[in-house]
Amino acid sequence: MTEAEYHSHPAMSQSKLKLLLENPRQFYLEHVLFIKQDKPTPSKNLGTCLDLALTDPEAYAKLEVKNTKTTSVEGYITENWKRQIDIWMESLNNYKMEDSFFGGLTFGEITATCTKQDMIFYSYAGIDWRMKTDYLNRKAGFFIDLKSTKAVTRDEFIKDCFNYDYHIQAASYANGIKIADKLSYLPRAYYVAVSTKTGEIFAFECSDQVIQLGMLEIERGCEIYKRNLETNDWARDKPLSILTAPEWQENQILSNYNQFFGVSK
């Protein structure tokens, strides 16, 4: 299966589920009516180049260097981006995974034991799913997902993990591998991120708690999906209702008024 065929496959994926949880109407537009808009930005293109270097070094090596500050042209990379990413990739390959499982092996040594870009299909909760891992070692029971991030600290990246629902992705992949390979256990899930601001590397193993929280969201998403297939509510406009201010907005306006006019509480 080609990359294009994989991404056009109608099976549910973790990214589609995230959209469904966030906005069923948007999911309906993009994945039922197939109306989608995505405008690349310079920052997105830098992240795309880094993602390519992380997951497909051969394709990354084929990018033509362009002597400009930014580029939105597919197949090109700026001189500055190329210089930065090459340094980051060397640091990443030499990064030591210091935990009891990997025992200090470098990222490069670990990924040399893995298969790359495995396309996996499975069924869960009566729904067909698809997933694609960055690095997977079935025998050892782990997978690694790579991220480019704007975060400049570990705490900031942790916040991003939940802002971007990485717990759902980790749970989806772990559950999918378990089902597809008929395992009695969930494989270990790792995130390794490279900051596009500083080049710093952030590496985490997902805890049982993170996987459990992700599975709760997956179960909720599955139920939303099934209900909307039956009711088609995601295609319906909301009925006329009364507009009221949220409590925080009311408090802010009252506070501004009281401060301006010197009114005591």
Cα(53)–Cα(190) distance, rounded to whole angstroms? 18
pLDDT of 167 reads: 98
pTM of this prediction?
0.84
Cα(157)–Cα(153) distance, rounded to whole angstroms? 6
Q: Two tokens at 106?
A: 């470098």
Mean pLDDT, 10 residues at a time, the chain of 265 residues: 85 94 93 75 68 84 78 74 90 95 96 95 97 96 94 96 97 98 97 93 98 98 97 95 97 95 79
pLDDT of 72 reads: 61
CA-wise closest residue to 132 among 228, 1, 253, 265: 1
CA-wise closest residue to 50 among 87, 15, 13, 14: 87
Q: Two tokens at 54?
A: 């992380």
Domains of the chain with CATH codes: 3-38+95-261 (3.90.320.10)
pLDDT of 202 reads: 97
- Enumerate residues 6+ apart whose C-beta is below 8 A from 265: 258
pLDDT of 2 reads: 84
